[in-house]
A and B are shown apart, each in its own frame.
Chain A
Amino acid sequence: MPVPAGRAGHQLWIAGSFPAAAGGWKAGGQAGRQGGSGALRRCGREAAGMASVVLSEAEKLYIVHGVQEDLRVDGRGCEDYRCAEVETDVVSNTSGSARVKLGETDILVGIKAEMGTPKLEKPDEGYLEFFVDCSSNSPELEGRGGEELGTDIANTLYRVFSCENSVDLKSLCINPKEHCWVLYVDVLLLECGGNIFDAISIAVKAALFNTRIPKVRVLEDEEGTKEIELSDDPYDCIRLNIDEVPCIVTLSKIGYRHVVDATLQEEACSLASLLISVTSKGAITSMKKVGKGSLDPESIFEMMETGQRVGKSLHIALQKILDEEENLGTSRPKVGFLG
């Protein structure tokens, strides 16, 4: 089980038993920096080097009271997402790409399909490899600093996609035991504005939708050597079915309630968060707890329910926008990075 490569610190376990979701693990606590005196001062999730913002006690109190009354600083309710902008096919030399802007958070995902050998334990399936790069954010995340956060996110993505039916890996097989398609998913964190896991999972799903893998044929001649032939038509390709691809919903506990899609300021007030990956049908495929605070089992159940509900709306909205983009076809005005 991949353990997040964080600083040596506390491992927080949730008291009491609760039914672990398929493929989930119980708790992943991460060390946080101990601040000065004051209960509110200890608030603040600092997961493995994530750039966080400093707030005064009174500001945090304002945010916490606002969440209690279901009116956040920007007027949203506790279960509302910020307006997201999704665009696919932004990078031309990839098999599939997507860019997602969720408020201030900006994520770019590129997927390259390359041929490789299947894994020994799964000879008739292809596989996905995730790489996350966070160096374009702040100076503290350049070079080695961003590695912790990057490995953390990559491990979470591996966990989310470890569920068998999220992506149809058998369709990525060309020759059992010999050749298969490997999808290298590169995630670029362009700007961190809070709630990066959700934005990354939306971008990965959109990029998988956009991925076009060329169709290949295996030709076998008399001696038994196999040759792989690429079809001549560049538009002849296979698309992936993304109906079962899960999306991550991050629920941050602020005070006695939990919010969805926290901004950087709200993350600084949150003691603990729950990352839930939900499929479009509402099935939870994995769960992870981050933060140095503890979560009551009751609130975990509530958060799971909220996560399922919000996750379903998220999938509906994303599918709608992807279909709309698909229908526009070539007449879609490409905005890209200079819009």
Chain B
Amino acid sequence: MAAVTMRLPAARAPLDSSALRGGEKHLVAPGDTITTDTGYMRGHGTYVEDDKLIASVAGVVERVNKLVCVRALKARYNGEIGDIVVGRITEVQQKRWKVETNSRLDSVLLLSSINLPGGELRRKSAEDELAMRDYLQEGDLISAEVQSIFSDGAVSLHTRSLKYGKLAQGVLVQVSPSLVKRQKTHFHDLPCGASVILGNNGFIWIYPTPEQKDDEAGGYTANLEPVPLSDREVISRLRNCIMALVAHKIMLFDTSILYCYEASLPHQIKDILKPEVTEEIVLEARQRLLDSEG
């Protein structure tokens, strides 16, 4: 039966800020004066005009000794060595692939930085170069790690481990990179029945947990069998929960996603995105997070 719901827009009320810890954050908008004291060094996101330090981006002011900088709330991904990213291949070039990772420049995946199917370890030859499109095509999703950063800021990726490689069936959610919490591991097998990769660049990949860890595949064979309905429900619910958390700017990590998932169980999957249900679930998840932190 068709379900069409319409509503009048409501101004978004912020969640009660009584739980704000860590003191007041100094939020600025572009053009706001940060300080008139000339003794500070200007960092990223600031500029000096008429002896005043003015912010050029909208964000939080951070001060380290004499350095004042503004960390933008919504910015493109700035690569750091060791980060896990999920990216989409945009171009296949001569000895490398261009990968889109929501950063200022397209990231680069060199042919020498990938693992061949079957886990072979050898120098890539000219035949490999011609067969590049057999490995990764335009539109494919990969999980990779940042190997190095070029001088212009472009990020160089590598998939030299069996846990990285081409991603198969699943759902991609794109969020702001500042919402993904830095953790020891970004590959999580959630107890609810699905797995999630939290890319540092804001790309989150939700996929059904594979039954057995097959090492010999090397990450290139895609399992194209239909995913069972129960797994699909879990994945859709997780996706909606992540969208709910993003709408209220809660940091994303495995515990917060799990608490939000458990709070959403009484509701139907498609109802999670309704504003009132979103608020309810996120409040409950936030409360549990605060309680667990003590």
Contacts and interface: CB of A to CB of B under 8 A. Distances in A.
Interface of A: 36, 41, 54-59, 61-62, 65-66, 68-69, 71-77, 79-87, 101, 260, 306, 309-310, 313-314, 316-318, 320-321, 324-325, 332-333, 335, 339
Interface stretch (B188-196, B211-219, B228-236): B228-236
Contacts of B9: 85-87, 101, 335, 339
A54 B88 contact: yes
A57 B170 CA distance: 11
A54 B2 CA distance: 29
26 contacts: A36-B133, A36-B138, A54-B88, A56-B139, A59-B170, A59-B171, A62-B169, A62-B227, A71-B229, A71-B233, A71-B236, A75-B237, A75-B268, A77-B270, A79-B2, A83-B274, A84-B4, A84-B6, A313-B4, A314-B4, A316-B4, A318-B6, A321-B8, A324-B8, A335-B9, A335-B10
B66 interface: no
Contacts of A324: 8
Interface residues of B, number: 43
Interface string B241-280: 0000000000000000000000000001110111000000
Interface of B: 1-12, 88, 90, 133, 137-141, 167-172, 222, 224, 226-227, 229, 232-233, 236-237, 239-240, 268-270, 272-274
A86 B8 contact: yes
Contacts of B272: 75
B223 to A, nearest CB: 8
Contact of B5 (A58, A309, A317): A317
A127 to B, nearest CB: 29
Given A55-B139, A321-B7, A339 B169 contact: no
B interface, by DSSP: helix, strand, loop or mixed? Answer: loop
**Chain A CB within 10 Å, residue with most, of B139, B233, B240:** B139
Contacts of B236: 71-75
Contacts, number: 129
A54 B139 contact: yes
Given A79-B2, A325-B8, A58 B222 contact: yes
A71 B232 CA distance: 8
A316 to B, nearest CB: 8
Closest 9 CB pairs of A and B: A75-B269, A339-B11, A75-B270, A79-B2, A62-B169, A75-B236, A310-B2, A317-B4, A335-B9
B29 to A, nearest CB: 13
A317 B167 contact: no
Given A306-B2, A316-B4, 5 more contacts: A36-B137, A54-B90, A56-B140, A72-B236, A321-B8
